[in-house]
């Protein structure tokens, strides 16, 4: 079984990796970790520096995740792409990896505060969805393989 995990090194991505290993270990999966570095919107030196930092961070996170897979005796490979995360994940799934399942972790905007903070967060989430969409909703509408969206905790 080939499983592709959208991996950015975040807490939710690490949890998604752990949950995927737990759920599918018996099927002896080959996990492909795919990270995407977003291209800078302009080519100023400051943005280029930030982009290079992001690439270095992603490489570090992928290396840590590969160690986890090795410790768990799970076959794993990785891929680092550049561009729009939504489009590059779709590209990787449909043109490169052809996974049996794509796993992504939903980002958490969980508020720490009370009713007002939660209400504001839900409003911002809705506005974000209406204006930009999210990676998970983009992929849910387009991907041609089973998609597992793991909730944040």
Statement: residue 133 has pLDDT above 60: no
pLDDT of 49 reads 84
pLDDT tens for each residue of 60-109: 999 999 999 999 999 999 999 999 999 999 999 999 999 999 999 876 55
Architecture of domain 2-150: 3-Layer(aba) Sandwich (3.40)
Q: Mapping DSSP to helix (H, G, I), strand (E, B) and coil, where does residue 105 land?
A: strand
Name the residue ranges covered by the structural domains of the chain: 2-150
The whole-angstrom separation of Cα 48 and Cα 42 is: 8
pTM of the model: 0.82
pLDDT at 134: 81
Each residue of 49-62: pLDDT tens digit? 888 999 999 999 99
**Number of Cβ atoms within 10 Å of the Cβ of 76:** 21
């Amino acid at each position: 079984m080939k499983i592709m995990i959208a991996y950015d090194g975040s807490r939710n991505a690490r949890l998604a990796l752990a949950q995927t290993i737990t759920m599918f270990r018996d099927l002896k999966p080959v996990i492909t970790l795919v990270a995407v570095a977003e291209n800078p919107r302009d080519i100023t030196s400051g943005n280029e520096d930030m982009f290079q930092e992001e690439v270095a961070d992603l490489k570090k996170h992928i290396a840590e995740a590969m160690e986890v897979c090795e410790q768990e005796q799970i076959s794993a490979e990785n891929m680092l792409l550049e561009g729009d995360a939504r489009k590059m994940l779709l590209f990787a799934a449909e043109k490169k990896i052809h996974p049996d399942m794509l796993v992504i972790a939903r980002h958490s905007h969980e508020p720490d505060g009370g009713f007002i903070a939660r209400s504001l967060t839900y409003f911002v989430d809705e506005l974000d969805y209406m204006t930009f969409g999210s990676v998970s909703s983009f992929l849910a509408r387009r991907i041609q393989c089973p998609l597992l969206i793991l909730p944040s905790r």
